């Protein structure tokens, strides 16, 4: 199974600004999921985007998927201090049932 | 809203002891997973379970590890003889069939001393 690579590794923004995180991968995927993790806590599912989808929204979150570039992005609009967390992409390829996590982007939203 | 629950939230054990981590997946889910995260590192796949058997496992999931679904609700991870390097947060996850999202529990922090 392949691993996604998020960038940047760390991002620091002011409250109210937008945050964009990217996930790149190497081979074909079945779907890609984004998760949030507050320090030392559990993994909270944010959005799943399937390989035949290009964009999905959930509240202030927008996820895009470009299969030709093998990349996905997570946009958080109008960020809040409570958005401070690590964000991970998790890939499921076409061959198995498990999904592989990238190393994550650590987002800090400053009040 | 249904959720995956894990117990205990924190377990401290002596090196060489056996531990059992417990999970109750979401009730209509059919795929179950264990992942682990060593402090400050990435989330690593251990094993997936479907139809009462292991469907995939990683290199980490060696003979010291086993999983079981002893009844219709629980899903357990057993580590037979714990090592210091087994200290990590262990996450259980579940999902329905098809191209669906996986939901994670809050994790069990295992500390081996």
Task: Give per-residue pLDDT as tens, B88-103.
Answer: 999 999 999 988 999 9
Sign of CA dihedral A27, A33, A38, A40: negative
Give pLDDT, residue B17. Answer: 98
Interface touch B104/A88, C-beta < 8 Å: no
Give pLDDT, residue A96. Answer: 82
Of B31, B99, B101, the CB nearest to A30: B99
Q: What is the least distance, in Å, from the CA of A25 to any CA of chain B?
A: 16
SS3 annotation, chain A? CCCCEEECCEEEEECCCCEEEEEECCCCEEEEEEEEECCCCCEEEEEEEECCCCEEEECCEEEEEECCCCEEEEEECCCCHHHCEEEEEEEEECCCCCCEECCCEEEEEEC
Quick one: which H or E segment has residue B38? none
Each residue of A71-100: pLDDT tens digit?
999 999 999 999 999 999 999 987 888 899
Of A35, A45, A100, the CB nearest to B45: A100
Each residue of A36-63: pLDDT tens digit?
999 878 999 999 999 999 999 999 999 9
How does the average pLDDT of chain B come out, rounded?
Answer: 95
Interface touch B104/A44, C-beta < 8 Å: yes
Give the residue numbers in A contacting B (CB under 8 Å), as ranges.
1, 30-31, 33, 35, 40-45, 48, 50, 88, 90, 96-104
Q: Is the pLDDT of residue B83 over 90?
A: yes
Each residue of A4-18: pLDDT tens digit?
888 899 999 999 999
Each residue of B21-63: pLDDT tens digit?
999 999 999 999 999 999 988 999 999 999 999 999 999 999 9
Give pLDDT, residue A2. Answer: 67
Give pLDDT, residue B25. Answer: 97
């Amino acid at each position: 199974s392949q691993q996604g690579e998020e960038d940047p590794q760390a991002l620091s923004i002011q409250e109210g600004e937008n945050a964009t995180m990217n996930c790149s991968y190497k081979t074909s995927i079945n779907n890609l999921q984004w998760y949030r993790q507050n320090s030392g806590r559990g993994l909270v599912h944010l959005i799943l985007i399937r390989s035949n989808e290009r964009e999905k929204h959930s509240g202030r979150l927008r996820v895009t998927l470009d299969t030709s570039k093998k990349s996905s992005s997570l946009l958080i609009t109008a960020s809040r201090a409570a958005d401070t967390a690590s964000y991970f992409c998790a890939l499921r390829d076409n061959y198995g049932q498990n999904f592989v996590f990238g190393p994550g982007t650590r987002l800090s939203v400053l009040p | 809203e249904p959720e995956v629950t894990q117990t205990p939230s924190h377990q401290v054990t002596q090196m060489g002891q056996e531990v059992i981590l417990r999970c109750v997946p979401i009730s209509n889910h059919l795929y179950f997973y264990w992942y682990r995260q060593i402090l400050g590192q990435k989330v690593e796949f251990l094993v997936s379970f479907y139809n009462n058997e292991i469907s995939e496992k990683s290199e980490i999931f060696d003979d010291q590890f086993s999983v079981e679904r002893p009844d219709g609700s629980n899903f357990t991870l057993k580590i037979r003889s714990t090592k210091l390097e087994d200290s990590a947060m262990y996450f259980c996850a579940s999902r329905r069939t098809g191209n669906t999202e996986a939901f994670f529990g809050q994790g069990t922090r295992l500390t081996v001393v």
